[in-house]
Amino acid sequence: MSGVPGTRMHALMSELFPICRSITGDGVRHSLGLIGQRIPLDLYEVPTGTRVLDWTVPDEWNVRDAYIRRDGRRIVDFTSSNLHLVGYSEPVAATMSLAELRPRLHVHSERPDWIPYRTSYYTRSWGFCLAQEQLESLEDGEYEVLVDSTLEPGSLTYGECVLPGEQRQEVLLTTHVCHPSLANDNLSGMALLTELGATLAEVPRRFTYRLLFIPGTIGSITWLARNEGELEKIVAGLVVACAGDSAGLFYKRSRRGDTPIDRAAQYVLSRRDGAHVSDFVPWGWDERQFNSPGFDLPVGCLSRSREEEYPEYHSSADDLGLVRPEQLEDALSTLLEILDVLEADQRYVNLSPKGEPQLGKRGLYSSTGGGAAQDEQLALLWVLNQADGEVSLLDVAERSGLDFETVREAAARLREAGLLEEATES
């Protein structure tokens, strides 16, 4: 049933939606627990104060309640939407005039009916977000304000799902888990990576796959700091986010721009209507950390809309209705196809490199001359001609203009015939 994975991902998003997540706290633990019911997930807790690269793991933030009351009535209520509270708001309990309160209130700059999403992680502060319409309806007078939060030493939580492959070389797949009730950014990414993990767990894998569910920025920095000695294993990576809106698929290249994952994603997306590819820029999601010059990892980013590129971005309008199951499913199948190309994009050595080997006696050539050459036949010749140990199958596909699938099948037939073997790494 083709609709099942899309429906399943959307259902997981619905389950995750109400939870108040941030870069630390119980919301992340709770969310990772739900994901851990679907794929084998190891949770890591990194204590507040731990030095991670240039950063320090911050205090852990948790919220019991938060509101603005007027005449005993909650007019802005964290329990109705966690977006109402500025992320990482410090505790406060006070009564103040609207004039005093006003600087603490944030509205959406363009849409009067949407609640914006705001945070203040590294500068202690507190505040509320609300629709501009509501702000304008507030009358002068006294307001009762409560932020019943804790901002104390604790830990930063992240999850890791490792799927061992034939090789110790790893493909890194990451998504950020630090947003509260925002659907596309980034419950879609969390659901997509979960479903991908469940799918990959069931298939043979050349590479080892490491799936990270991490808070944005501080999460990737923490993970990089703790795994610095292991990074040489990473041969490719993808940051996945914003995968369910109506936009076409978008691939952002790694800093180096022409690594195997860049080539594979470029190949697959060039065959999808409405998809596009662009060069690396040093902002966005966690790819900016993986692509910092001291690491320079071959990590690209797959999404639909980029951050700030869709109107509902970081607002209450980024809700479950914005994300469509068929878009999630299309993203999943694209992702699987990219990984499939990546796994198959190997370099081979022609074992009979002097002249063409006699294909006819191996059943690889039609025995009567003069017919039209078919793609399958041409692919055999291309692979034999190019297989000098330096050229990969994607290189062959690009030089020949043949489909990667056709080229890969030709390589498989030639291996079976004993004419080709994998190149050893140089």
d(CA 110, CA 120): 21
Q: Which amino acid belongs to residue 126?
A: W
Name the 3-class secondary structure at 391. strand
* Cα separation values, 424 from 349, 407, 421, Å: 9, 20, 9
**For helices 325-344 and 260-269, angle between their N-to-C axes, nearest 10 degrees:** 130
Contacting range for a second copy; rule: CB under 8 A; set: 90-98, 144-152, 235-243, 383-391: 383-391
Distance CA 179, CA 190 (A): 11
Residue 319 or 356: the one with the smaller Cβ distance to a second copy is 356
Figure out which of the listed residues 103, 141, 321, 369 binds a second copy, where binding follows CB under 8 A: 369
- Closest separation in Å from C-beta 367 to a second copy: 4
423 binds a second copy, rule: CB under 8 A: no
| Footprint on residues 253-272 left by a second copy (CB under 8 A) | 255
Q: Closer CB to a second copy, residue 63 or residue 249?
A: 63
CB of 350 to a second copy, least distance (A): 5
Is residue 118 part of the contact set for a second copy (CB under 8 A)? yes
Structure tokens belonging to residue 272: 């999808």
| Strand extents, DSSP E, 164-268 | 170-176, 208-214, 234-240, 250-252
Residue 122 interacts with a second copy (CB under 8 A): yes or no:
yes
Residue 152: how many CA atoms within 13 Å on its side-chain side? Answer: 7
Q: According to CB under 8 A, which residues from 40 to 99 bind a second copy?
A: 53-55
Give the C-alpha separation, 251 to 265, whole Å: 7
Give the nearest distance from C-beta 71 to a second copy in angstroms.
Answer: 30
Binding mask 319-358 for a second copy (x = CB under 8 A): -------------------------------x-xxxxxxx
> Comparing C-alpha atoms, which of 333, 327, 347 is closest to residue 394?
347
Which region, judged by CB under 8 A, interacts with a second copy, from 6-14, 138-146, 206-214, 222-230? Answer: 222-230
Query: 245: closest CA among 295, 182, 294?
Result: 182
Element (DSSP H or E) covering residue 152: strand 142-152
* Beta-carbon-side half-sphere exposure of residue 275 (alpha carbons within 13 Å): 22
Assess 363 for contact with a second copy (CB under 8 A): no
Q: With CB under 8 A as the contact rule, which of the stretches 74-82, 285-293, 318-326, 338-346 interacts with a second copy?
A: 285-293
Tell me the window of 169-177, 223-231, 246-254, 321-329 that interacts with a second copy (CB under 8 A): 223-231
Question: Distance between CA atoms of 66 and 74, rounded to whole angstroms?
Answer: 10
* The binder of a second copy chosen from 45, 142, 228, 232 (CB under 8 A): 228
Q: Quick one: which of 50, 292, 333, 346 contacts a second copy (CB under 8 A)?
A: 292
Contacts (Cβ under 8 Å, ≥6 apart) of 248: 272, 273, 274, 275, 276, 304
Residue 277 in contact with a second copy, rule: CB under 8 A: no
Q: Which stretch binds a second copy (CB under 8 A): 121-129, 145-153, 203-211, 318-326?
A: 121-129
Report the relative pairing of strands 128-129 and 60-70 from DSSP bridges.
unpaired
In the window 391-410, what residues touch a second copy (CB under 8 A)? 400
Nearest approach, Cβ of 426 to a second copy (angstroms)?
A: 16
Q: What single-letter DSSP state applies at residue 184?
A: I
State the binding string over 177-216 for a second copy (x if CB under 8 A, else -): ----------------------------------------
What CA–CA distance (Å, rounded) separates 198 from 191?
A: 11
Asked if 22 is part of the footprint of a second copy (rule: CB under 8 A), the reply reads: no
Instruction: Find the binder of a second copy among 1, 93, 99, 373 (CB under 8 A).
Output: 373
Tell me the C-alpha distance between 217 and 12, whole Å: 24
The rounded distance, in Å, linking the Cα atoms of 306 and 167 is 33
Residue from 35, 107, 190, 221 binding a second copy (CB under 8 A): 221
- Contact residues: a second copy, CB under 8 A: 53-55, 116-123, 217, 220-221, 224-225, 228, 255, 281-283, 288-289, 291-296, 308, 314, 350, 352-358, 360-361, 367-370, 372-373, 378, 381-382, 384-388, 400
